Structure 1
C-alpha cells in the first residue's frame, strides 16, 4: 500500500490545475531511510507539449544535489495526464491516470520508484489520482491511501489514543 499525506496530494492536484493543459510534473521526496514522502517538489515541464512531460535538466540536477545534501531520495515521479494517453481508449475517452507507453518505458529506468498520475480533463474537473510501479516488467497499480498524518497510517482509527 502506498500512503500519501493529504497536503502533498492537494499540492500535486493544484500544480496539475495550474499547468493545464500542459502535463504538470514533479517529484515526491522523503528521507533516505524513510517509508513515506515528506514533500512535493513541483518541476518545470521542459517538453511544453500537452501530451508529454520531461523534467527540466537544470532543475533535475539542482534537485539531485539538494537531495544528497539533505539525505533524501526520490520516491515518486508525479505527472498529470490532460489528454487521452496513447493506449486503447476507455469508454469515457477522457484523460486516464494510467501510464502511457512512454511512461512505462521511463519507469523501466527507475524500477524502484512509484509513479503517481493525475488524470485531469479540465482545470476544474474532479481529478483521478492513481499510482503504479513495475514488478517483473509489468505495470502494477498501487493501493493508494491518503491520510492526514503518517503518525497512525499503519494502524486503524481504533488505535488513536483516547483523550481523557
Structure 2
C-alpha cells in the first residue's frame, strides 16, 4: 500500500474521531489502488456500520473499475487496533462461520494516541490472524 493512500485512511480516522470511521480498499492483483471512504451509519465511537446502499454503490464502483475489494477498514478510537468481538461478528455471513466477504482483509486504524497504529487482519469465522502490511513510498 502506498504511503499516500495509507495517509488518506489515517486522516479519515483522525477527522472522524471520536467516532469510528469506515471504508473500502480496492486492489488489483493484491496491490492497493484506491480508498473509498464511507459514512459510519452507527455514528458511534464503539462500532461502525456501513449504510447498505452506500456500501453497495462503493462495491459497484470498485467492480466497474475492474478492481477487487481487498480490505475493509475502520478505526478504533479508544482501544488497540485488534478485532473486537463485534468486528469478528461483522466479518461473518449472518450467524455462520463463513466470511461475509471471502478473501477480504480488515485494516484497523488505532488513533487513541498521537502515534498511528495500523494493523491488517484476516478474519474467517473465529480464526483471527494478523497479516503483514507493506507500505511503499
The TM tier, using the shorter chain, reads 0.7 to 0.9
- Alignment length (residue pairs): 130
Question: Given the alignment of the two structures, is residue 49 of structure 1 paired with residue 44 of structure 2, yes or no?
Answer: yes
In the aligned structure 1, how far is the partner of 2:18 from the partner of 2:3?
A: 24
Q: 2: distance between equivalents of 1:56 and 1:98?
A: 23
| Change in 2 beyond 3 A, CA 1:111/1:134 | farther
Over the aligned positions, Cα root-mean-square deviation in angstroms equals 1.5
The answer on 1:26 being equivalent to 2:23 is: yes
Consecutive aligned runs of 4 or more in structure 1 exceeding 4 Å deviation: none
Q: Distance in 2 between matches of 1:73 and 1:54?
A: 21
Superposed, which structure 2 residues align to 1:1-164 within 5 Å? 4-31=1-28, 34-83=29-78, 95-108=79-92, 109-121=100-112, 125-134=114-123, 137-148=126-137
Q: Larger Rg: 1 or 2?
A: 1
Deviation at 1:47, TM superposition (A): 0.4
**Residue ranges of structure 1 left out of the alignment (5+ in a row):** 84-94, 149-164
Counterpart CA distance in 2 for 1:25 and 1:135 is: 19
Task: Give a deviation string over 1:55-109, Cα, whole Å, max 9, x none.
Answer: 12221121122123211221101000012xxxxxxxxxxx111000011122232
Larger mean Cα displacement after TM superposition, 16-25 or 57-66: 57-66
Q: Distance in 2 between matches of 1:141 and 1:69?
A: 30
TM-score (norm 1): 0.74
